[in-house]
Amino acid sequence: MSTEPIVEEAAGLCVNEHGGAIGMPQLCGDWIPNQVFWLLVTLVVIYFVLSKIALPRIAAVLADRKGTITNDLAAAEELKQKAVAAEKAYNDALANARTEAGKIVAAAKAEIQKDLDAATTKADAEIAAKAAESEKTIAGIRDGAAAAVAEVARDVAAELVGALGGGADAKTVTAAVTARLKG
């Protein structure tokens, strides 16, 4: 029984006679210095664990991420510059292609116009030749028709004079028909 008084002295007023805590043990005034000591020990251990192990690993991860992000941003900027340069080259090539197309179109138009002018000149010459030939043919037909009309008129005039009871010789009828045809 000699141990019972020592337990009572160590526990103080915070423990009942059966060894159970009276109230909340954290609020027992006799135990507060012991709790503060272990709190400080725990905080020091946590501080050393965090500062020597966890925080350096976290800092390394953050530095690695920052480096990756910086590299990615630099690569993105470089790609953006390349895209701008490619777009400029594309626009320049497109402008050059349009200029070349304009030159080709102008050359084609000039060649077509030259061919058209040559064909028009040839067609005009053919039309003029055919028109002259047609005028000759028409003049021949007109002369033939005038001669035929004059002959028919002489024959008709001679027949009419004979039918009306008159007498006319061929020379007189021809002179009268010729004078009448002239106007």
pLDDT at 11 over 60: no
Number of domains in the chain: 1
Per the listing, tokens 């009276």 go with 22
pLDDT top residue among 151 and 68: 68
Average pLDDT score, the chain: 86
**Is 18 a domain residue?**
no
pTM: 0.41
Question: Which domain covers residue 73, as residue numbers?
Answer: 31-182
pLDDT band at 1 (very low <50, low <70, confident <90, very high): very low
**Is 129 a domain residue?**
yes
pLDDT band at 7 (very low <50, low <70, confident <90, very high): very low
**Is 3 a domain residue?**
no
**Is 4 a domain residue?**
no
| DSSP codes of every residue in 4-50 | HHHHHHHHGGGB-TTSPBSS-GGG-TTTHHHHHHHHHHHHHHHHHHI
Q: For 26-76, write each residue's pLDDT tens digit.
A: 777 787 888 899 999 999 999 999 999 999 999 999 999 999 999 999 999
Element at 123 (helix H, strand E) = helix 55-163
**Is 131 a domain residue?**
yes
**Is 8 a domain residue?**
no
% of the chain beyond a pLDDT of 70 = 93
**Is 9 a domain residue?**
no
The pLDDT of residue 74 is: 94
Give the range among 3-7, 11-15, 96-100, 170-174 with minimum mean pLDDT.
3-7
Burial 12-24 (b: 16+ CB within 10 A, else e): eeebeeeeeeeee
**Is 152 a domain residue?**
yes
pLDDT top residue among 85 and 12: 85
